[in-house]
A and B are shown apart, each in its own frame.
Chain A
């Protein structure tokens, strides 16, 4: 039987009736039309469905929508505030970190979670933070470069300090 749940997605409150067996990924994609969250395996192996839940990256395919209540959900659609790209997104564009783009939303969100808590990550920190998100196109080289560049951009613009407060 469906349950009425309140979801807070990208700072917008939604009230939805969902079956208990529906994943957060499905509800985001098919009920809310937020198709930037991708589905690549459905069982937590690939990371393309990553969203931030209470600031932490999680596989939205392995979170039941009914369990996502009371948490702030951030999807790729909520990363850029306004028409300007977020510095991480800018860095992905400029550094060529995008090929097929299917892992990109998840990569950006994993990078965002990392940089929000670690303004000055080492290469290993970056590779570790991205290690749950598979990419088959880039060899990760330009993704790692983009995250480094984004960290520099964010430090310069003071974004990291603001969000850390």
Chain B
């Protein structure tokens, strides 16, 4: 592998010092003179017609500047997929879940805003609600939206290869099912937006978002403002994991309040509102029938899935496609049938969450592989190794695996976790399990139909010389994309990381589709590389012209201009530079021409030196309906081994260790790659063992807080070992591809498989709480 100065190191994040001292500004940390506070009135009912809304008393309250309802908004629907726009800024005619937004207030203080909500009267006519996805699809079920017949938002019917033709070739055919529960992303920073609408008709919104670009488009569309007059800025963001990847009603409401009052307005979600707004993981009902030959060769997969997506479509179309398409790998499987249904119910809307659509499907398939291995009396890792795909292969649903270190990852965790020995020797109550998974490294297409570039980067030499400013639309939500952009730029330009400044997450600066589908390193990284290379060429052209050296013989190393033919004559340049900087410190007196001198000279010769970079994936995917979802210029893959102890009397699970190996192509920053793996594992662990949104009979969340929606604490998470596999992805910058989502894929099944190894009981329902495990154990004891 090529030697790098900056890349592949453990350089600290560029924002680390600000974050560790409390200086980093998140949206709620911002304030503007004269700023008002927004508050939202949410529906107490799950399904009802709105008969009337009376805001008079609220409007008359001292300190209230505006009260808005749907009457104050354009009748323009919005959402995520343009073909399924089904939301309005504020509920029109009816509410569809407990939490639907009915009205909003802007007031001088948060207290007055909340008080005003108490004065708004709403009259409802109750409608029958439906809370179960399968009931919602049944004949005569209450209808949520006129346009969704039987409450089905999207159905998928895929058939690759020919399942019927090969069915008799299978020696073992197994059918298994798995049901999960709605989840919450539980990022630490609740959503917040601060909007300002100026006298020239420009709208600026600061927001805790993953996707300034999509938010900008939605604001312009729904609020009827020219696109170029809408600016969305992302300050520091306290995690997203999916739900912040689309424009929310709260963002639109905040802008509407700012437009109505002519004052800046800030709205900050309570934690409870984070749960109500949700847009996190769907509830999945999976059923899979898999056929294999005696030697372990996979023959076919028949897969049915129903997704409960709550009241609106949100990302639902992509979710239902992902749930099917991402079983095309990582194994050789030529015959695959998929029937998927994405359904609406009177619950908070679900959307995208880390491992979008594919996590529970992956969990069931990997659990099923273990059951098959047991029937075949084969080691589960051996079964997997027999079937894994390698680089250069194409899946049955036409996903091309340009690099694919699946085998290497699986072998790495097997060896590091001492799999063979532990699999044999452990007593009942202790277990070890393995699983694999893979994920896209950036969606192949934007959410709306467009030939847009997915990422552009503008890199500018600082005119005074010495520094570089990188402007990008990419959204650093904690995953570290600013650091990635800085490292790539510094490496290309041969300068220290400290001399690169990244300004990002601002729709005025450049285009970037956002932090979702694990796309940023590959796409924004490629654009940053191109922009930096352009800048480098421009400097070296100037140096060449000034010194008479050939441009191709020049390079920048350690912030100095290096000429492969010897020492450049730089006396005049240095003399001029010193004259210009009398009394300045750090002005070179001897040695080679510095990057600072060269970049200043480039400005003096040519004016501002700006390089641009852009990225757009090539045309990807097959010609079948829905072929676009699941396509990607590259795929990351992951294997994990989980070790658990199960208390057989209480059902409590202690995870003792998880070893993970992920193929990220090439680690731009080794620490951050490990961090993504460790974070993914922890989220998967929570989903496997404890995370579950619970509802009462009226559709109200029973645990809309972080005490009773349980995510793992530092005491729950065991030591995690992260092994980096580098397969040198040809389509990624410097060989890099994703790590942020592929690494969650194996976690749930690895834990479930370990629980089985410890207890001999299988669970068909997630999460695997002590009570569910104990119930399964009790059932097994009775069977004896």
Contacts and interface: CB of A to CB of B under 8 A. Distances in A.
30 contacts: A35-B25, A35-B26, A35-B28, A35-B29, A38-B189, A40-B189, A42-B270, A43-B707, A45-B706, A48-B188, A94-B12, A98-B15, A98-B20, A99-B239, A99-B480, A99-B679, A100-B188, A100-B477, A101-B15, A101-B20, A101-B478, A102-B189, A127-B715, A131-B713, A131-B714, A134-B706, A141-B674, A141-B719, A142-B674, A142-B675
Interface in A86-141: 89, 92-96, 98-105, 108, 123, 126-128, 130-141
A45 B707 contact: yes
Contact of A138 (B187, B678, B711): B678
Contacts of B314: none
Interface residues of A, number: 54
A134 B23 contact: no
A41 interface: yes
B68 interface: no
B22 interface: yes
Interface residues of B, number: 55
B73 to A, nearest CB: 29
A34 interface: yes
Interface stretch (A1-9, A63-71, A75-83, A153-161): A75-83
A17 interface: no
Interface string B309-350: 000000000000000000000000000000000000000000
A139 B681 CA distance: 7
Contacts, number: 170
A98 B679 contact: no
Given A40-B190, A76-B22, A96-B13, 12 more contacts: A36-B23, A40-B189, A42-B270, A45-B706, A46-B188, A80-B21, A96-B671, A127-B714, A128-B715, A133-B714, A135-B714, A142-B675
Nearest 9 CB-CB pairs, A to B?
A: A36-B22, A100-B478, A102-B238, A101-B19, A139-B678, A76-B22, A139-B682, A96-B671, A35-B29
Contacts of A137: 188, 239, 478, 675, 679
Contacts of A76: 21-22
A138 B188 contact: no
Contacts of B19: 98, 101, 104
A77 B23 CA distance: 8
A106 to B, nearest CB: 9
B720 interface: yes
A75 B23 CA distance: 12
A46 B706 contact: yes
Interface string B736-763: 0000000000000000000000000000
B201 to A, nearest CB: 30
Contacts of A41: 271, 705-706
Given A36-B22, A101-B24, A139-B717, A96 B675 contact: yes
B26 A96 contact: no
Most buried by B among A34, A38, A132: A38
Contact of A77 (B21, B187, B188): B21
Contact of B271 (A42, A94, A98): A42
A38 B19 CA distance: 11
A152 B629 CA distance: 49
- Secondary structure dominating the interface of A: loop
B753 to A, nearest CB: 20
Given A38-B189, A100-B189, A85 B714 contact: no
A134 B12 contact: no
Nearest to B669: A96
Contact of A45 (B237, B478, B671, B705): B705
A98 B187 CA distance: 14
Contacts of A133: 714
A95 B189 CA distance: 22
A23 interface: no
Contact of A34 (B22, B236, B241): B22
A49 to B, nearest CB: 11
B interface secondary structure, majority: loop
B661 to A, nearest CB: 15
Nearest to B190: A40
A140 B714 contact: yes
Contacts of B705: 41, 43, 45
A139 B655 CA distance: 13
A163 to B, nearest CB: 19
A126 B190 CA distance: 27
B504 interface: no
A89 B21 contact: yes
Contacts of B713: 131-132, 134
A76 B24 CA distance: 11
B672 interface: yes
B27 to A, nearest CB: 11
A40 B705 CA distance: 10
Nearest to B188: A102
Contact of A136 (B13, B17, B480, B679): B679
B16 A37 contact: no
A85 to B, nearest CB: 7
A55 B778 CA distance: 48
B720 A139 contact: yes
A40 B270 CA distance: 8
A79 B18 CA distance: 13
Given A131-B713, A135-B188, A85 B22 contact: no
A27 interface: no
B189 A131 contact: no
